[in-house]
Amino acid sequence: MPNMPESLSALALADAEALRAEFRAAFAELYAGGNKVLSADDETSLVEFANSVKALDAHIDTLARAERTAALAADVSASQMGAADNDDDADDTPSGDTGGSMSTETTPEPEPPAAAAASESSAEGSMSTEASTEASASTNSSELASGSSTKQQEDAVSKTTEPEALVASAPAPDDAASLMAASQAGVAAQAAASAAAQASAKRAKTSTTAGVDSGLPAGETDLTTLAAAIERKVSQSSEAAYRSAFARGQKLEHRYNFASFSVGVSDEYAINDATDLAGAMSVLDKVTNEKALPGGALTASGGWAAPSETDYSMLALETVDGLLSIPTVKINRGGLRYTQGPLFANILANAIFTYTEAQDISGDDYPKGRFPITNPSFTDTRLQASEAFVPAGLLASKGYPELIERTIKGVLVAHAHKVDQNVISAIVAGSTAVTVPSGTVDGVSNIIDAVLLQASHMRSYNRLAMDATLEAVLPFWAKELVRSLLAKRLYVDLIAVPDARIAQYFANLGINVQFVYNWQDIATTAATGFTAFASTMEFLLYPAGTWVKGTADVITLQTIFDSTLLDTNDYTALFTEEAYLVAKYGWDSRVVTVSTATA
């Protein structure tokens, strides 16, 4: 890693240039073209390298100016002495002077800096400068400072100190990042200008005349050739002059006359006399007349010509999600007879008596406790059938089978939901209705409190195991209500309360919760009217195994062709029948009404 001396005053020009090259190489190696992840120490080192290069640039510039000033002074002195020796006139006017002013040699314009830049090492990257161009600019500035005041010297200084670029204007960079960005921005601007010019050349229908600074022959030219000339001129710009301007905080600008454009408006549409109102209106009428356009109209005349394609597929969104899940048994005959057996609460209240010793000594004829076993009653629940009948046309089955298939799928999904709705209705009808008073916090607290309250009583009433699982059934939208209220209570987003977390809240209470579609259904409310959740809600609560669904072994799905329908060219696309029943094997099942409003 190169070291920067404490003082640059004793550093010679050649040594300063060599040290600057070392700092550039160190910068390029550490930066690695921007493809390296830099640490904080690396970033600090890059800034130090950049500041060191800037300081060395300034020192080298000072030394170069001093050397060239001395050399220029010597050249001017020698030129004046030679002119005096060759002057044979009687007066004091130097030989060959016809205008009364000193004749001086115009400093030639420096060669394009691209050649000088090519000799720099590629490792210097965006830190590279062109010392030859900078030195040439410094020399001519020294000529001006040395006292030469001829018009030719002023022109030479003006010609060589202005950088050969379209625009170069920026403040001195504060760190390595801005220095690199400035260099890269110049390259990007060149590429963008070239691409834009080439694209415009393909579209333009205007007349383009080459300018005096384009390096092209006078007369009309095309935009592609002009773009190449612009790119060629930009590539000859002096990077060293830009960097020197950055370091000094100066603004440098050079403008070139590259081309002029003629938009090609016909004289027929020209307004030559602004005071001639009638003539101006005549021109405007011609310009705005759509009949003057090819085809005589602004609108397209052909259109697509081809007819639109027909997509016969149909979107199907319905599913069998949200159905109630309860134990299911197969029914072989017309129904099911079953008994609930004795009610344990009745046994607990009446089967056990207390008899004391005093009663025995007294000889009282005290009746001993008796709880006779009685024959239980049986409940006979008969199967009921849910059916669907879908007729269709024979021609439609051939011409539009997608419609037949889509309709049948929808009917089968609707059948499943309708059976589920009937099962839930039977459970609600066979449950004990309970209403829990409103709470004082929010809807989710009311729901949880009501579940805890009724679950505690149910376990106690039936003397269930303390960890026995109870079944709870809530309408589907209750889950979204719980999610919303929990998110507000926990100060988290809704996505932070997933379904699994809601189910876990109930599971921690020993409750297996189900959320179903086909009860307290919000689908019966129009979307425009559904602006808030209901203020009350019902939920089912029962011990596991209380409710059982019975179903026949076979669900019938048929396609039927019969003579009656065939007479009308129709057939039965679907006939389905499902037989089921709902049996209550347990005694305790409750439907609880609770408030969901926030206090």
Tell me if residue 376 falls in helix, strand or coil. Answer: coil
The tokens for 80 are 């004046």
pLDDT of residue 255: 65
Residue 416 to residues 378, 468, 470, Cα–Cα distance (Å):
30, 31, 25
pLDDT of residue 180: 47
Q: How confident is the model at residue 537 (pLDDT cuts 50, 70, 90)?
A: very high
Q: What is the residue-averaged pLDDT of the chain?
A: 73
In DSSP terms, 579 is beta-bridged to 385
524 Cβ contact list (under 8 Å, min separation 6)? none
**H/E run at residue 391:** strand 384-393
Q: Rounded mean pLDDT of 564-590?
A: 85
For the entire predicted model, the pTM comes to 0.50
Q: How confident is the model at residue 120 (pLDDT cuts 50, 70, 90)?
A: very low
Tens-digit pLDDT profile for residues 221-252: 776 776 777 767 666 666 677 677 777 777 66
Residue 136 has pLDDT above 60, yes or no: no
Tens-digit pLDDT profile for residues 167-177: 333 334 444 44
Q: Which residue has the higher pLDDT, 477 or 278?
A: 477
Q: Rounded mean pLDDT of 492-498?
A: 71
Q: Which residue has the higher pLDDT, 175 or 514?
A: 514
Q: Which residue has the higher pLDDT, 327 or 61?
A: 327
Tell me if residue 472 falls in helix, strand or coil. Answer: strand
Tokens 């403008």, residue located: 255
Lowest mean pLDDT among 251-265, 400-414, 462-476, 516-530: 251-265
Most distant pair of Cα atoms in the chain: their distance: 177
Residue 185 has pLDDT above 60, yes or no: no
Q: Rounded mean pLDDT of 257-280?
A: 70
Residue 351 has pLDDT above 70, yes or no: yes
Tens-digit pLDDT profile for residues 442-459: 777 888 889 999 999 999
What span, in angstroms and rounded, lies between the C-alpha atoms of 8 and 10? 6
pLDDT of residue 163: 36
In DSSP terms, 397 is beta-bridged to none
| CA–centroid distance for 542 within its chain | 48
pLDDT of residue 475: 97
Residue 327 has pLDDT above 90, yes or no: yes
In DSSP terms, 575 is beta-bridged to 389, 558
pLDDT of residue 453: 93
424 Cβ contact list (under 8 Å, min separation 6)? 324, 473, 516, 518, 519
Q: What is the percent of the chain where pLDDT is above 70?
A: 63
